[in-house]
Amino acid sequence: MKTCVDPVREITDEEAAAFRRDGWVLLPRYVDTDAVRAMADFLVEHMGTDGAQVPDAASAQNTRYFDAGAWRDWRFLARDGNVEPFHRVSMSRSMGRNAQRLLGREIGIHLGLDGALVKLPEQGEQRSTATDWHQDWPNLSHDRIGFITFWVALQDVPPERGALRFLTGSHLEGPLGRSLRSDIDLVSQYPSLTEEFDVSPPLHFRAGDATVHHGMMVHSATPNLTEEPRWAWAMGCFPGDVRYTGARFADTDDLGLEPGARLGDHPRFVRMTEDA
């Protein structure tokens, strides 16, 4: 009988403690090398070696592609498209269990969204800009914290290729506004942030390395200053007791939900964990 190997490793106690203290943590060799290679190969096949090709809708049904300016976003490869190995990675036993440990809660975890994040070289004809300092959670329609994001490098990502930066500890600051994709940079709006919180050191990712960050973490990414596209994939998940606020968010606007409904009860947000 063939054993199904989990493509995601379990986090350590030290990594979980660092996340709760700092709001983010680097996870070296987080996703299996073969899975990462297959994810990167799929994206190159459908987006071209330069990352600038718009994927054909038939290549992955129920997905959504758009140019976010700072990156090209091919969303829902795992959750709705069931594209492998994206789906297997996001739904692995270790991924769900890791989310529980990071949150410190024995509660069901649901897959909120996922997407390939391709940052094109700044010098190219179709350039990607810097990703402004922002928080993830205020842009959602969630009534409580608990949303966390795993960001996985699908190739080597040195600092100059658009690696993530974090304001360590800023997840304790609270919500600072729905700034994502609104041309509002939180550090420009709140200059004291860089005085109160240290900017993380430049991160050099190897293929399969990841970070995970709290939904309130203030983070950004530089432009891609290299001659190659930056290939990455991210997924966000949340605990099962999160309820819908009614706030506008593209991923929940068309679900017909009433404010107060549990998001995890909707079939779109698949459960990643066994019963806690």
First-last CA distance in the chain: 28
219-221 and 131-134 beta bridge pairing: antiparallel
pLDDT of residue 179: 79
Intervals of the chain under pLDDT 70: 1-4, 124, 181-182, 275-276
In 3-state terms, what secondary structure has residue 30?
Answer: coil
pLDDT of residue 124: 63
pLDDT of residue 276: 47
CA gap 28, 41 in Å, rounded: 21
pLDDT of residue 140: 96
CA gap 243, 197 in Å, rounded: 30
Helix spans in 108-158 (H): none
Q: Residues near 268 by Cβ (< 8 Å), separated by ≥ 6? A: 79, 80, 255
To the nearest 10°, the Cα dihedral for 205, 169, 167, 28? Answer: 0
Q: Give the single-character DSSP code of 128.
A: -
pLDDT digits (tens, 9 = 90+) for 238-276: 999 999 999 999 889 999 999 999 999 999 999 999 754
pLDDT of residue 182: 66
Angle at 32 between CA 30 and CA 237, to 5 degrees: 50
pLDDT of residue 275: 57
CA gap 114, 77 in Å, rounded: 7
Q: Which two three-digit tokens encode residue 197?
A: 């919180």
| Strand intervals (E) in the chain | 24-27, 64-67, 72-75, 109-119, 131-134, 148-153, 164-166, 210-214, 219-221, 230-239
pLDDT of residue 4: 65
pLDDT of residue 1: 37
